[in-house]
Amino acid sequence: MKTAIELGGIIAACAVLIGCVVRVDLLRAGEHRVSVFGVYLLWAVFAFGVVLGLLRGEELDWYDVAALAGMLMHLALSRKSWRGCAPRDAQVKQVRDIGGQHG
């Protein structure tokens, strides 16, 4: 039973890690918000830490399971908006000069 839980943890953490790496790859500096980049980068670091811990023989804690489950749910539910490119809400808001007037 313990081995099955550890294997499930490794699979879930690898899925989060791969999902985050793919999303970070779709982001471009100056075009997308740094906060979006930071969230997916930190999630990937967390997932990588879980994988390393499990490979070293550490136990999978309840908060690791909760965090991975939340991350997987977010990645799965927002998958359609990330097809081919980052969604519009990840883009930097551009200040537009309307009518040639500067404040």
Domain ranges of the chain: 2-87
Q: pLDDT per residue over 39-78, tens digit each?
A: 999 999 999 999 999 999 999 999 999 999 999 999 999 9
pTM, whole model, 2 decimals? 0.83
Higher pLDDT, 14 or 81: 14
Q: Is 30 left (phi over 0), alpha (psi -120 to 50) or beta?
A: left
- What are the Cα distances from residue 67, in Å, to 12, 61, 74, 87, 93? 10, 10, 11, 23, 30
Q: Other C-beta atoms within 10 Å of 12: how many?
A: 21
* Rounded Cα distance, 44 and 79, in Å: 16
